[in-house]
Chains A and B, each alone.
Chain A
Amino acid sequence: DSGVTQTPKHLITATGQRVTLRCSPRSGDLSVYWYQQSLDQGLQFLIQYYNGEERAKGNILERFSAQQFPDLHSELNLSSLELGDSALYFCASSVGFEFSYGYTFGSGTRLTVV
């Protein structure tokens, strides 16, 4: 157990629907990162939050949004889902920068859009 908890583990939904992925960071970690892993795009950075504030944004679609709550857990909202959104979505967390420990990844949420 990495200490980063992602729920749900699996999600199957239809095109056009909206889903919410949840991430609880490792205890004490202030930064939360979201990554998308697909076969053709590899691991792509989506967005980072640090202590409740958006810190960096990658190639995140406008249909996707995220937030980090006061208790530091984060949610990734995906709307108007398309078949191409099917992927593994990983959350990672860190205190800030940690050379020795890097970013701790959760086990991911596998999203299947049908």
Chain B
Amino acid sequence: QQQVKQSPQSLIVQKGGISIINCAYENTAFDYFPWYQQFPGKGPALLIAIRPDVSEKKEGRFTISFNKSAKQFSLHIMDSQPGDSATYFCAASKIETSGSRLTFGEGTQLTVNP
């Protein structure tokens, strides 16, 4: 019930291409779905997040698509750049005012070739 499944494990994209990472969750109580970006030697940093009351959210080149009935959400990176090369994690949690744990996916190592 607490798992978040992420795919693919690794992804290689050419500069200018679209990177797509998918996640699926089981716990229907989850109501907050963030994506984190992690560079080597650094902690994860919030990239973009969505609530289940919307089906899509766009911030610059990054878009989250959310399918509540299928319990799936995905990250699209448009016009991928070499600087986007990093590990991406989807996550999910149940919102609490004091904050709550994030359940992370397994991570996707993205490489954008110049």
- Taking beta carbons and an 8 Å cutoff, which residues of A are in contact with B? 2, 4, 30-31, 33, 42-45, 48, 50-51, 55-56, 58, 90, 92, 94-97, 99-103, 105-108
Contacts and interface: CB of A to CB of B under 8 A. Distances in A.
Interface in B71-114: 89, 95-107
Interface residues of B, number: 25
A107 B107 CA distance: 17
Given A2-B43, A99-B32, A105-B45, A42 B105 contact: yes
Nearest to B35: A102
B89 A33 contact: no
B51 interface: yes
**Interface on chain B toward A: helix, strand, loop, or mixed SS?**
loop
Nearest to A33: B101
B43 A56 contact: no
Interface of B: 32, 34, 36, 41-46, 49, 51, 89, 95-107
A99 B36 CA distance: 13
